[in-house]
Structure 1
């Protein structure tokens, strides 16, 4: 018979059996023989018989007093029995070979686990370790769990003999790695679960967590190796509270006192999500914590508990009426399991009357139904009660994750045996010889068949164990929903895929029921309120990294998500809105004809151009009059034409900038104004030379004439033309989008190309204007009748004032207003020339024709 040792942990109180010094500690199976099922930590030993197995109950020499039972863990034993029953009833599976088992109770104590392990190495009913003569009961393997401590103590002894150990709960942390090679983990890889927990926390944005962990090697390893990974992903912990190991013994009171200290930390916590890393019995102690906290008047608000798959609901008899509302809305992980066909019917048919070989069912029945089967003392149990009538808080009819792992463990061992059987059968030997060889197989020979095995169980699920001895399975994400009758429902709301999907998590949020105080909204578990749109996080001194203050985004930046580490700039073609949480597209602006400023400039330019043309017409009409002749008609016409063109040049600056208009506007402006100013300079020079030529013997007479005036205008204009050609040849103006000058606008403008060349053009104009102003100023005292210098002085004063003020004004404005400043300067300086030089002449021509005669012009001022 193959032996499978299972240690399900059904809580038993330490017996009060009296032992003398000479009497060794009682061997476990003395009290519970094969067929007797214990509800403590259980080692189940599977044997292989040469004939169908029958269990005969042997009377116990001693019985436990004050046995306290974890009724839920009775299902672990029934899962083992059910699996063995299925295998033995299948004629196609292991023919002529039956499986049997022994079950040993560890009582959560290391000493009892060691005793059970030594018992396996002894002949039945004779405690002589390392001496075993039960040749008809061949040891196959052991199933141990669900507590990691049980597996660790079991491995210490059995690892020496290389006996296969199938673990259906928490895997122990092995310091001696050589012992781990004999483990076959039927519980999914904890790394996948840890990553699944992390992704659940991040999914719900629970970043402010309370952490409670069991004070054992697994708990320490979780804190040291896993929590730093959580912190790297933005999870921080308000507290890390260590809870003592649970030993259901006389030290229970001390353990409870330490838990009450933990309760004060929990109740004072601001976190709404608590991660608890424990073992299967931890919920029973949690129930004690929340129950007795009521008597200390400790208000405990509803929290969302995130529980690991190693934990499951367990309950003690005296906890039957205790409130379980604290697990309402809890999120737990569970072994990805299926409902095994026939298992519930198997449970429904069990009762004390039919199961004579089940030495444990009487204790379980009395505990579960809160009655007595002792008819002689007025027992109230009929034995016909139905397990399905029990609330889930007492016994669950659905196969738990741990039971499912036990079920698969039995089948894994059986398939390994069947593989050996099939291999032997292929050899051409007699069947009896094959059976005898199979009976003499050593347990360590199963390792190679267990690792890499794959089979389909009766639930229709493919079960695979990889080459490292780990089952390939994922986790279910469970939501706990409680009811007033102390019952609850475990609803599957998601899953964690197994390898190689690297813990890919799927969650159905709509199916989750949260604790009532959250009013069916996703609970928030953060150190402080979110930083809303328009704000960014800033570290709060002396607090963990997930505690922060909210800082308004600086001007020009936005944040469009909550809890952003930093605000960011909008794209160049967008700008922040007023609350700095959204980028708005900028609109393109330029000085257009459709806006008041553009219309005003256009009307003014047209009006002044008409006046200039009218003045030119007057001078052409009266070109033979003395006053027109006296002031050099050609220069006058040139000046008026250049002024007319300067007014019309305004239209190059209004409207959408194009490539051609950008090239022409500054070039035309520079050349036209050079012609105008050089004409004024020529007129002033001619006036000065004319008076100097009237002196007797003066050599200046030969300089007075059209050639000098033309030379001045031509040379000055030529210099400006050369400057403009160099400008066009090196870095010409071009249309450009200025994204940065204005906050809410994109400026469509003419980029000057070379700012230096632009100021060279202006500088040359200033140079001509200053010379004209200087010459005119020096000639202002010449006789009035021949003297234009006085008017030219005023016109140049206006011209220079306008363009000297233009530079700082131009540099201090942006966008279309820069263009407006340049247009205004062009118009005002041109109007200054027109008004100061030509208004007096027009006045004399049109209103005082009596003064427009040769006699008046020749009169010398006395």
Structure 2
């Protein structure tokens, strides 16, 4: 079912006949109305226009290329020819509705040399690039249930696929780009950004969605500006008004990053504002910024703007609809020539405006003297005028045509008799196929295109996939290159959606290939934290040093972090340093001193014990109970030696023995002192006539006192060691730079119970000795015991507050000193008088002298 015709040109409409037709609203708007519309509707249905956006001519060419490939492929829709209509909207709402209706209902009028069985069998429509165009089309197409495949990237503004089941998107959801923008800003540390958005419903929706999203991720918006979606103004006052309003935002030195949301015409609009209103901004590189743009934006120039260039957008980072290069497409473009192709209603205007020449058969008057030769090459055009490589939007159109073709193929097969595929059966009448029947096949379509990529629709009737991250590099000849520097993949785990190669990015020249800084103020250096400024946005803050015990090991930390218990902040408070282990070592002066004293008194005690054993039969030793004396000296010797358990790094054995050995041995020593005192008292009382105390005179009483008092302390220690024994521990809080290796008492109650009992025993000994100090007995030790116990109690009374007020190894040193001092006090006060008599006054250590003193 073919339409044949002779040469005919339909202005500003591209018509290709076929059995099944695909309608298209041409890419955004190939023709742009500037100023007033001179003729609304004329008999030829032609509009007066001043310029054409040649950059978008690739969009209908991509559709024609896809249709041509399908018609030449015997595997898709065999014996069926696809045709297409392409209409332009002229960026006018009324024309959008009119051209949509023309696609649906207007049969092409009969003209000479036309012979067709019927004029249209429209099955689907592709378009448009802008959200407003697509939604206006959907108002009509949704009622007719005709599949509409859009190829622009825009949000679902108050529309969803539930209300528009005929609405299909060839581009992933724009919401993914919002996440991508946030990830880009986070990646480069940009927290102070400005927003430029097109004046439309989509632009308003973008601002409403973006501002709270940025706020949630700690990014502030310094300003929000709107940009008109037009390339020229009919009134210069409007232009200067736009320039005046945008100037303060563009001059904000703290804002080095601008987020731009809009289309190609919005970029041209901003470019016009800059060149006409403030050309010094373009000439001075210090005003250059980093531009982040969404996939809907494109860099195009038309008319006089081609002389201006796009230098202000050098280094822009933008998202692009993912595309793959199709080598056959460039071959397809190279064959286009206005002298060879006659059915393209757009080609003539495109050729004249792209190459700035006039075709010989042009009916329009022009001031251009140069005549088009037809030898002009599309590949010679700069990027802002026309691109030879398939853009993301063209790639989406290409996939849309194939999606329709595959759906038609599946529907065609399902309606055909199986035998018809091998030559039998009845052929399907194409007039029986209706567009609404295509939906069930289109929704479940899945195919691999010629680039090897799988195309299918998800539950939201959107094509799955991500976006490419591109970098705009502008050359001196006003051409540019789009370099792929990364990818946005929304299907991966949150936080890993963006992959970017920073080394490939070309920045504005003012940044010297260093990542720009876009912040309200400078970074807070490590060692300091943020402190919010009053009456300012949260991105603006002061930097204050970290408090004691905390660090900031990164720039711009909200709060300093506390070091672990085994670490402490360094001088700059930017990292934690491992604490050194501290203990009372033998190698340091205080340890050496205490060990020397303990060893010296141990030797002295051994010497005293030796003297006493050697002179054991002398009256001075016999008079004071030799066994108790020996026991006291041995316990004092062990007391001196027990101080070595406190020196060196604590171990399980030393911790287990330290306090218990100290408590028991000191209890034995004090018990011996108490027994000696009681012995003196009992001996004096036994000298009285008929005294009942005589039966207590002897070793039995003293041994009982020593044994009883020592067993009580031993019982306390056994209970302590059996329930919660001491163990080696690292105390980390008392000292800032050191961990103290010490013995943890396990139970503080039991520790102070041992000390309390020892103190009680000392007070009893002191009291008894004090009461017996003036008894008239030869060799009476009571007064010496009184002085020794007074010294003993003084040492341990001073020990408690001193012990509690010191930290680290000095606590151990205090305890060792107390052990040595109290033991030395007992040794010196009790035994030095006896040693004096034995060594220096031996004449007093005789029985005659004893009897003389008694008489």
Taking structure 1 as the reference length, the TM-score comes to 0.87
**In the TM superposition, what are the counterparts of 1:362-377 in structure 2 within 5 Å?**
362-373=348-359
Match of 2:715 among 722, 726, 729: 722
Residue 442 (str. 1) matches residue 462 (str. 2) = no
CA contact (8 A) 2:667 2:758 kept: yes
- Are 2:407 and 1:416 aligned? yes
Mapped pair 1:810 → 2:810: no
| Residue 467 of structure 2: aligned partner | 475
Deviates more, 1:496-505 or 1:288-297: 496-505
Q: Within 1, Cα distance between the matches of 2:100 and 2:506?
A: 44
Question: What is the CA–CA distance in structure 1 between the aligned matches of 2:189 and 2:783, rounded to whole Å?
Answer: 83
Query: What secondary structure, in the 3-state scheme, does the structure 2 residue paired with 1:649 have?
Result: helix
Determine the structure 2 residue equivalent to 1:509: 502
Shift in alpha-carbon separation, 1:309–1:640, aligned structure 2, 3 A: same
CA contact under 8 A between 1:741 and 1:815: conserved in structure 2? yes
Q: 2:390 aligns with which of 388, 399, 407?
A: 399
Provide structure 1 residue ranges, at least 5 long, that are not aligned to the other structure: 32-62, 128-132
Match of 1:228 in 2: 212
Residue 777 of structure 1: which of 759, 764, 770 is its match?
Answer: 770
Q: Classify the secondary structure of the residue corresponding to 2:24.
A: coil
Of the structure 1 ranges 762-771 and 495-504, higher mean CA displacement relative to structure 2 is found in 495-504
Query: Does structure 1 residue 617 correspond to structure 2 residue 603?
Result: no
CA distance in 2, matches of 1:397, 1:438: 36
Counterpart contact for 1:183–1:469, Cα < 8 Å: yes
- Matches of 1:852 and 1:177 in 2, distance apart? 120
Deviation of 1:829 after TM superposition, in Å, equals 0.9
- What pairs with 1:269-284 in structure 2 (closer than 5 Å)? 270-284=254-268
2:489 to 473, 494, 497: 497
Cα distance change on mapping 1:792 and 1:191 into 2, 3 Å = same
Tell me by how many angstroms 1:98 deviates: 3.3
What SS is found at the alignment partner of 2:62? helix
Q: Name the CA distance, whole Å, in 2 between partners of 1:469 and 1:477.
A: 24
Change (3 A) 1:780 1:80: same
In structure 1, what is the Cα distance between the partners aligned to 2:254 and 2:233? Answer: 34
The counterpart of 1:158, out of the listed 141, 144, 148, is: 141
Give the conservation status (yes or no) of the 8 Å contact 1:527–1:546: yes
State the match for 1:51 in structure 2. Answer: none
Mapped partners of 2:754, 2:555: distance in 1? 54
- Comparing 545-554 and 426-435, the one that deviates more: 426-435
Once residues 443 and 12 of structure 1 are traced to their aligned partners in structure 2, the CA distance between those partners, rounded to angstroms, is 31
Q: What SS does the aligned partner of 1:491 have?
A: strand
Unpaired runs of at least 5, structure 2: 1-17, 111-115
Contact 2:263–2:297 at 8 Å: present in 1 too?
yes
Cα distance in 1 for residues equivalent to 2:394 and 2:355: 22
User: In the alignment, does 2:288 pair up with 1:302?
Assistant: yes
1:54-93 equivalent positions in 2, closer than 5 A: 64=48, 67-90=50-73, 93=76
> How far apart, in 1, do the equivalents of 2:106 and 2:748 lie?
105
Matches within 5 A, 1:135-154: 135-154=118-137
State the secondary structure of the residue aligned to 2:98. Answer: helix
Instruction: Using the TM superposition, give the Cα deviation of residue 380 of structure 1 relative to its aligned residue in structure 2, in angstroms.
Output: 1.0
| 1:280-429 matched pairs, under 5 angstroms | 280-295=264-279, 301-373=287-359, 379-383=369-373, 384-428=375-419
Quote the residue 2:13 is aligned against. Answer: none
SS of the residue corresponding to residue 342 of structure 1 reads helix
In the TM superposition, residue 362 of structure 1 has moved relative to its aligned partner by: 3.3
Deviation per residue, 1:4-53 (Å, 9 max, x gap): 1223122422586755xxxx7347x733xxxxxxxxxxxxxxxxxxxxxx
Structure 1, residues 707-766: CA drift from partner, whole Å, max 9, x if none?
333333233223322332333343333333334343333333322222222222222222
Q: Take 1:778 and 1:92, find their aligned partners in 2: how far apart are those partners?
A: 125
2 CA distance for matches of 1:93 and 1:379?
A: 48
| Aligned position for 1:823 | 816
Deviates more, 1:702-711 or 1:187-196: 702-711
Cα distance in 1 between the residues matched to 2:420 and 2:750: 108
Contact 1:13/1:249, CA 8 A, preserved across alignment: no
TM-aligned CA deviation for residue 601 of structure 1:
2.4
Residue 614 of structure 1, CA deviation: 0.9
CA deviation string 1:395-452 (max 9, x = no partner)? 2221111122222223333333333333344355698997771144233232233222
**Inter-CA distance 360–684: structure 2 relative to 1 (3 Å threshold):** same
Match of 2:529 among 531, 536, 542: 536
1:605–1:827: 8 Å Cα contact kept in structure 2? Answer: yes
The residue that corresponds to 1:25 in the other structure is 41
**Equivalent of 1:519, from 512, 525, 533?**
512
**3-state SS in 2 of match to 1:476:** strand
Displacement of 1:852 in angstroms is: 2.8
In the alignment, which residue of structure 2 is the partner of 1:7? 26
- CA separation in 2, counterparts of 1:467 and 1:655? 73
Give the direction of change, closer, same or farther, for the CA distance of 1:598–1:372 in structure 2 (3 Å limit). same
Residue in 2 aligned with 1:566?
559
By how many angstroms is 1:188 displaced? 2.5
The alpha-carbon distance between structure 1 residues 715 and 161, as it changes in their structure 2 partners (threshold 3 A), is closer
SS in 2 for 1:306: strand
| 179 and 108 in structure 1: CA distance in 2 versus 1, 3 angstrom threshold | farther
SS in 2 for 1:786: coil
Q: Name whichever of 680-689 and 335-344 sits farther off.
A: 680-689
Determine the structure 1 residue equivalent to 2:242.
258
1:168 to 138, 142, 151: 151
Query: CA–CA distance in 1 between the matches of 2:796 and 2:841?
Result: 34
Which stretch of the first structure deviates more once superposed, 425-434 or 352-361? Answer: 425-434
Q: Pick from 733, 742, 745: which aligns with 1:752?
A: 745
Kindly indicate whether the alpha-carbon contact (under 8 Å) linking 1:146 and 1:280 is maintained by their aligned counterparts in 2.
no
Q: How does 1:694-713 map to 2 (within 5 A)?
A: 694-695=687-688, 699-713=692-706
1:76 positional shift:
1.6
Distance 2:510 2:639 in 1: 79
Cα drift, residue 240 of structure 1: 2.7
Contact 2:549-2:569 within 8 A present in 1 as well:
yes
1:638 corresponds to which residue?
A: 631
TM superposition score normalised by structure 2: 0.88
Distance 1:459 1:657, change over 3 A: closer
Contact preservation (8 Å) 1:795, 1:837: yes
CA 481–694 in structure 1, closer or farther in 2 if over 3 Å, else same: same
- Measured against aligned partners, the alpha-carbon deviations of 1:611-669 in whole angstroms (never above 9, x if no partner) come to 11111111222223232233332332222222112112222222343333333322222
Q: Provide closer, same or farther for how the CA distance between residues 517 and 817 of structure 1 changes in structure 2, counting only shifts above 3 A.
A: same
Residue 108 (structure 2) pairs with residue 104 (structure 1): no
SS of the residue 1:4 aligns to:
strand
Partner Cα distance (1:354, 1:709) in 2 = 135
CA contact (8 A) 2:153 2:295 kept: no
* Partner Cα separation in structure 1 for residue 742 and residue 311 of structure 2: 71
Q: 1:723 to 1:343 in 2, by over 3 A?
A: closer
Q: What CA RMSD, in Å, does the superposition of the two structures yield over aligned residues? A: 3.2
Aligned partner of 1:34 in structure 2 is none
Report the Cα offset of residue 145 of structure 1. Answer: 1.5
By how many angstroms is 1:790 displaced?
2.7
CA distance in 1 between counterparts of 2:37 and 2:624 reads 140
Matched residue, 1:46? none
SS in 1 for 2:327: coil
Q: Quick check: 1:795 aligned with 2:811?
A: no
The aligned counterpart of 1:585 is 578
Secondary structure of the corresponding residue to residue 30 of structure 1: coil
Distance (Å, rounded) in 1 between the aligned partners of 2:616 and 2:104: 139
Which stretch of the first structure deviates more once superposed, 834-843 or 305-314?
Answer: 834-843
* CA drift at 1:108: 0.9
